[in-house]
Structure 1
Amino acid sequence: MSDVELSDFVDDGGKNQKSGETPTKEDLSKLRRVADRIPMTAWYIVACELCERFTYYGVQGPMQNYIQFPPQPKPGGQPGVSLPGLVIAIIIIGIGTGGIKSNVGPMVADQYRPKHPYVKVLPSGERVIADPRLTVQTIFAWFYLAINIGGLSPILTTLVEKHHSFWLAYLIPTIMMVFGILIFISGRRAYYKAPPSTSVIADSFSVMKVAFVRGKSLENAKASNVPVNLHAKYRVNWDDNFVNDLKSALEACRVFVFYPIYWCCYNQMYNNLISQAATMNTGSLPNDIMNNFDPLTLLFMIPLFEKVIYPFLRSKGLPLKPVTRIFIGFLLSAVAMGYAAVLQRVIYNKGPCYDHPLCNNVPNDISVYWQIPVYVIVAISEIFASITGLEYAYQKAPPSMRSLVTALFLTTTAFGSILGYAIVPLAVDPYLPYMYSLLAGIMVITACVFYSLFRKYDLQEEFEEEITEKEILEY
């Protein structure tokens, strides 16, 4: 078998003599498939990501109030510095986040080296198939769980903002980021580091230039077929394998085209739903603390899905393939927006201010806890759509382009934010129910179109798994 090496199979240090063996046809058909043990180096990166997300969300938590209700300068202070400081901070956060997020996801998954299923004996004596696909799926699940544990930081920072000051609320995340850097550095000698390659982005643009000149097809950009004059003009330093990898990467990225709509709905947690909470009875809670029910939900739901729901579905012959999971996530996002629309209408039906809440700074008579279902539904949608998106970007991208494809997937969040500007005219009283209803309707249409276009990819994945198993049996 050409593409399966003995190094693809691992053992357990001799603890179980039958662990690490190549599965037979009978093994593949009868044994239960499980995720393998996650390497310790991956946990270092997961811990670092937790700290980084603590910093990011801890800063983001008080930001809506910082913008909507800016701090007033004290006598003798520097007036007018709040806005410039905010702009500079947002730029720095964007640069830092962009540099980290496109690399940390592929790096954490790269720490797991086996590429093909192998037989593993559990401490109970049960023989199972350790499946690399499930392992990568599990790695990204725990990685996303760490993100959302860090995402609980606004609970602390918004309370500090409310009861002390903005400056202390922003100092706490800064300290946490320093701690995260120290964790990351401590594991630097043990990490698996993918070998560096040439500039993928520059070479990709070079390929597309040549393809455009030779007929707008990547097949026409094969290095072996490029004339000498074009070699010199475009400084071609890529080969046919790179062109094939680029085609695979672009094929994977087609799935991401629909994500901006999803992120536009998701982002309502950090702007309009915060403002909605301000129009409701919050008691002693700050209005910008409610969106923490999203990471709190994920804190419990991710282990539930990984340990109970997904294994149960696999045992019943119903493994949810990536496109199906994303489709379900999109639909759940639509449900969340539909609930928000109904809730907004209920708020308008309550006094004393009805469809113009906060008249005389008095909220309408409805408990803010009615918002909780929105965050719970959005959180479950993330398990299906967001985690699967990270996993898909890694699994489908060629090894040389995993960071690039992950970066393109994460870039869809920026387009989601841009789409948010299109609904700004409706993001005011008394039109908010129409805004949430519009988002729900568009999300349903997006989900259906997405599934109709890409459900064939789930069938393709099943075919690829069958090919892999056939190769293993021939080994």
Structure 2
Amino acid sequence: MARRPSASIADGEVEEIPLLANKSTTSFALKVGEAHTSITLVEDERSDYLHGARDGWEPYPTEEERSGPHRLRRVGRKISWPAYLIAFVELCERFSYTGTAAVFTNFLQRPLPPGSTSGANPAGTPGALGLGTNVAAAITQFNTLWVYVLPLVGAYIADTRLGRFKTVCWCVAIALFGHALMILPSLPSIIPHRSLALPIFICSLLIMGLGTGGFKSNISPLVAEQQRGPQRLTVERDEEGERVILDPSITTARIYMYFYLMINVGAALGQLCMTFAEKYVGFWAAFSLPTIMFCLCPIVLWWGSSFYTKSPPQGSNLLHTLRVLALAFRPLLTLSPTRFLRAWTDPDFWERAKPSYVAHFGRTGRVAWDEAFVEEVRKVASACAVFVWYPFYWISFNEMYNNMTSQAATLTTHGIPNDVINNINPIALLFLIPIFDKYLYPFLRRRGYNFSPLKRMFAGFISVGSAMIWAGILQCYIYTASPCGYRANDPNCEPAGISVWWQTGAYVLIAVSEIFASITGLEYAFTKAPKSMKSLIMALFLSTSAFASLLGECLNPLAGDPLLIWNYAVCAGMSLGAGAGFWWTFRALDAQEEKDELGGRKDLEDEDGENDDRDDAGGVDVHGEALTLQREGV
């Protein structure tokens, strides 16, 4: 059995490595040489070790068990309840933010209905400030940019100063204040006075976005950190007695699947509740309900604070990372295409930043990092290169919240508000995520097909592009069936005689794309980032949505009659083209990652095996995440 190197422990001394707290333990004694050693294992490790010892097989898989013709089935661990608590915090935050954002457009764009002091309008469209389409679009677009740029700031603070948990707590407090402040401009005594209501609304929007932005980049890594058990492959028997491989990467993927499920539960409930609240009660109710729901976040964070796994701030390697990148990319700063291509394809591209390379070529100055740090930066750069393509995914995804909502208004809605129809997407995810987790992914693993993260991302691009093709074809039928022809969005035009439920296919395809691309992107950002930069890399992934918003501004001239078919066609072409470019660019990386997954883990086990000998102190290690060693005299 592979063991970690043990340290010499004097008589009567106790060495504790409490990396996992709050786990039930089991103690037993082993006799090693002339020493009697007492070992206490946490629950997860006890299962691994005792089952293996009892059944006569090693708790770690062999090469044959990993990838041979009789390889064992790979499964993930059960998700720990602290992870569900963190996911519930995200559910409350998404309910509050998404529910509030769902009514921004009507609050800003539409005027106060005649005789209404709250903005409610059961017989028509609610409204409040009456700023018009352009101003409302500008403010909501700025809000999107603000929320998706600020994660970079929140990530830096978490990685360098506060740690992720404390940063999340502070950001919840800031966002809660912003939510409470947003209620003021919607009160019946203030809402008729636009010159007073608008500044308060903008101020609350900035404060709420500040908290939301910092929250977003840290809650995703925090939920994945709640994963329990060893961070390597282990062999165990499942409930039916079958020997299986417990794969931490599958556990991480499952955590993000159900984390995303909670996101969509919150988003769907928030959008439905606030849409009807603004219509039948008023904007004060549409802004108050999210605030009340958001108050659960600090309560849950406080209640479970003693159970959560909390990573302390690791310090920032950002400056060193930038210097490594500068050394590696410096030869690319040339106007000569030949030199640029030679530098880009140079096999020593990353070697240029390593201390040995710098010293060999006699460059002045001393680097403050080692060779391993350069390799970390290389992996981070590879992950970030993957994210470069994501704006072309989000450009089609964002159509769900603007043009497809407008498209629903030109169809026969059967009395359902047009801005409620896009809830088909989160509702579809509530069904699809368990299906993918329980059936599709296990089926592919049993068949021996490695549906790797990069393959799933590629599938996500194809799926979202297909959704735009669906929407474009439907738009063709709308123009054909509408009594106004290519002016179907005219407010005075009657809806086309086509049911709004024909949009279902597009929304379901977008939901499938989210499982493949969005959830996998969160997983990839977490697993590929070093510990000191996890929040930062997550923020970089989230910021791709901000770039998509800027890209969407360029398509605004197509976002209207009679050019909507072209709008969907361009979006589909960009997503499908980006998907093809994505796979062409990273197919070699995908093969390398698959090789590293098998070979790298074997190297780790071999490295552990080199330290298999016990020292004179009689130290024993069974790869427990938290264990207590006490040497007692014999």
**Is residue 184 from structure 1 mapped to residue 301 from structure 2 by the alignment?**
yes
Structure 2 residue aligned with 1:51: 92
Structure 2 residue aligned with 1:133: 249
What letter corresponds to residue 292 of structure 2 in structure 1? I
Percentage of matched positions with identical amino acids: 42
Preserved CA contact (<8 Å) 1:326 1:389: yes
Residue 143 (structure 1) shift? 0.9
3-state DSSP of counterpart to 1:181: helix
The partner residue of 2:403 within 266, 272, 279 is 272
**Is residue 377 from structure 1 mapped to residue 509 from structure 2 by the alignment?**
yes
The partner residue of 2:216 within 101, 114, 124 is 101
List runs of 5+ in structure 1 lacking aligned partners: none
CA RMSD of aligned residues (A): 3.0
Structure 1 residue aligned with 2:315: 198
Structure 1 residue aligned with 2:13: none
Distance 1:177 1:413 in 2: 24
3-state DSSP of counterpart to 1:317: coil
What letter corresponds to residue 191 of structure 1 in structure 2? Y
Distance 2:449 2:455 in 1: 11
The partner residue of 2:562 within 401, 411, 430 is 430
Distance 1:95 1:203, change over 3 A: farther
Distance 2:204 2:506 in 1: 29
Query: Which stretch has the larger CA shift, 215-224 or 39-48?
Result: 215-224
**Is residue 18 from structure 1 mapped to residue 69 from structure 2 by the alignment?**
no
Preserved CA contact (<8 Å) 2:558 2:564: yes
Distance 1:249 1:75, change over 3 A: closer
3-state DSSP of counterpart to 1:151: helix
Cα distance per residue 1:372-430 (max 9 Å; x no partner): 21111100011111111111111222222221111111110111111100100010111
Residue 211 (structure 1) shift? 6.0
3-state DSSP of counterpart to 1:128: strand
The partner residue of 1:159 within 276, 295, 306 is 276
What letter corresponds to residue 234 of structure 2 in structure 1? Y
Distance 1:321 1:243 in 2: 25
The partner residue of 1:293 within 409, 421, 424 is 424
Cα distance per residue 1:79-129 (max 9 Å; x no partner): 245544554344334322321121111121122252211012222222211
Structure 2 residue aligned with 1:447: 579
Residue 267 (structure 1) shift? 0.5
Cα distance per residue 1:47-85 (max 9 Å; x no partner): 111111111211122223334425346798312455445
The partner residue of 1:257 within 364, 369, 388 is 388
Distance 1:347 1:416 in 2: 27
Q: Which has the higher contact order (CA 8 A, sep 6+)?
A: 2
Distance 1:452 1:206, change over 3 A: closer
Residue 436 (structure 1) shift? 0.4
**Is residue 417 from structure 1 mapped to residue 549 from structure 2 by the alignment?**
yes
Distance 1:88 1:32, change over 3 A: same
3-state DSSP of counterpart to 2:487: coil
Residue 13 (structure 1) shift? 7.0
Structure 1 residue aligned with 2:266: 150
Preserved CA contact (<8 Å) 1:281 1:364: yes
3-state DSSP of counterpart to 1:112: coil
**Is residue 36 from structure 1 mapped to residue 77 from structure 2 by the alignment?**
yes
Residue 202 (structure 1) shift? 3.9
1:354-365 paired onto structure 2 within 5 Å: 354-357=485-488, 358-360=490-492, 362-365=494-497
What letter corresponds to residue 514 of structure 2 in structure 1? E
Preserved CA contact (<8 Å) 2:391 2:544: yes
TM-score (ref. length: structure 1): 0.90
Query: Which stretch has the larger CA shift, 175-184 or 190-199?
Result: 190-199
Distance 1:5 1:303 in 2: 41
List runs of 5+ in structure 2 lacking aligned partners: 7-18, 21-40, 53-57, 112-126, 130-187, 334-348, 610-634
Structure 1 residue aligned with 2:15: none
Distance 1:130 1:387 in 2: 21
**Is residue 407 from structure 1 mapped to residue 539 from structure 2 by the alignment?**
yes
Distance 1:202 1:246 in 2: 12
**Is residue 463 from structure 1 mapped to residue 578 from structure 2 by the alignment?**
no
Distance 1:326 1:4 in 2: 37
Residue 437 (structure 1) shift? 0.8
**Is residue 112 from structure 1 mapped to residue 243 from structure 2 by the alignment?**
no
What letter corresponds to residue 83 of structure 2 in structure 1? A
Distance 1:435 1:251 in 2: 32
Number of aligned positions between the proteins: 471
Distance 1:263 1:90 in 2: 23
**Is residue 173 from structure 1 mapped to residue 259 from structure 2 by the alignment?**
no
What letter corresponds to residue 553 of structure 2 in structure 1? Y
Residue 362 (structure 1) shift? 3.6
Distance 1:4 1:371 in 2: 57
Preserved CA contact (<8 Å) 1:338 1:440: yes
Residue 255 (structure 1) shift? 0.5
Distance 1:11 1:23 in 2: 20
Residue 2 (structure 1) shift? 9.9
3-state DSSP of counterpart to 1:23: coil
1:200-215 paired onto structure 2 within 5 Å: 200-208=317-325
Distance 1:14 1:79, change over 3 A: closer
TM-score (ref. length: structure 2): 0.69
Preserved CA contact (<8 Å) 2:95 2:290: yes
Query: Which stretch has the larger CA shift, 82-91 or 262-271?
Result: 82-91
Distance 1:239 1:273 in 2: 51
Whose Rg is larger? Answer: 2
**Is residue 310 from structure 1 mapped to residue 351 from structure 2 by the alignment?**
no
Residue 264 (structure 1) shift? 0.8
Distance 2:512 2:90 in 1: 21
3-state DSSP of counterpart to 2:414: coil
What letter corresponds to residue 46 of structure 1 in structure 2? A
